[in-house]
Amino acid sequence: MCAAAQAPAKSFANLLSTAKSIKKFKKKIPPIEAITKIVETGKQSLPVGFSGRLDFTVIYDEKMKDRLAQASENMFQKLYEKSTNEIDRAKLNAYMHYAMFFIKAPVVIALTQKTPFDANLNDMLHSMTICSEVYGLDVYELTPQLSAHKEFAEILGIEKPAQVLTILAVGYTESN
């Protein structure tokens, strides 16, 4: 586990003052050692008994990311067509920009639950984020596009009852 991942959680005020916004990813691919350590940290920070219930799929392949992005974009288009007012449409446009952000990440990590369970993954995601910072990387959890979870499962070759819980965009950003 990354040593920094064991640090105590930041105070709420400190968290607000250091919160990240979405930034542009550099094309530089993170070292496999860093990605491996981030995934290991995530697994080790899960509650006892949950590590065997989650899969971490690391995606470097541009075609795979393109397919995930297309599924996400299609889902947003369907929602947009169903919306009945301009406020909802404006929100969907904003969410779509956020949801499509992952396609520019050099690495995407899909977290998949093998069997249904109810667990708070915030501590795990926090640990992974802290670990990524040790390597100068940023991690963004992207959940709005998971309305396309059926399509994501098909693209990733995941069979029911397993399903994609979230995806993480990982990489160096322009500010690093």
pLDDT on residue 2: 74
Is residue 103 included in any domain, yes or no? yes
Is residue 157 included in any domain, yes or no? yes
Domain extent at residue 153: 24-171
Is residue 5 included in any domain, yes or no? no
Q: Supply the CATH number for residue 113's domain.
A: 3.40.109.10
pLDDT on residue 119: 66
pLDDT on residue 8: 43
Question: What does R_g of the chain's alpha carbons equal in angstroms?
Answer: 16
Which amino acid is residue 88, in one-letter code? D
Is residue 6 included in any domain, yes or no? no
pLDDT on residue 35: 97
Q: Could you tell me if 114 and 54 are in contact, meaning their C-beta atoms sit under 8 angstroms apart?
A: yes
Q: Could you tell me if 171 and 30 are in contact, meaning their C-beta atoms sit under 8 angstroms apart?
A: yes
Is residue 161 included in any domain, yes or no? yes
- pLDDT averaged per 10 residues, the chain (length 176): 52 39 82 96 83 86 88 82 85 72 84 75 90 94 66 86 85 80
Distance CA 16, CA 18 (A): 6
Is residue 29 included in any domain, yes or no? yes
Select from 56, 67, 165 the least CA-distant residue to 116: 165
pLDDT on residue 12: 35
pLDDT on residue 167: 85
Q: Within 10 A of 121 (CB to CB), how many other CB atoms are there? A: 19
Residues in Cβ contact with 64 at an 8 Å cutoff, skipping those fewer than 6 apart: 155
Is residue 102 included in any domain, yes or no? yes
Is residue 9 included in any domain, yes or no? no
Q: Does the model's pTM come out above 0.85?
A: no
Domains identified in the chain, total number: 1
| End-to-end Cα spacing for the chain | 23
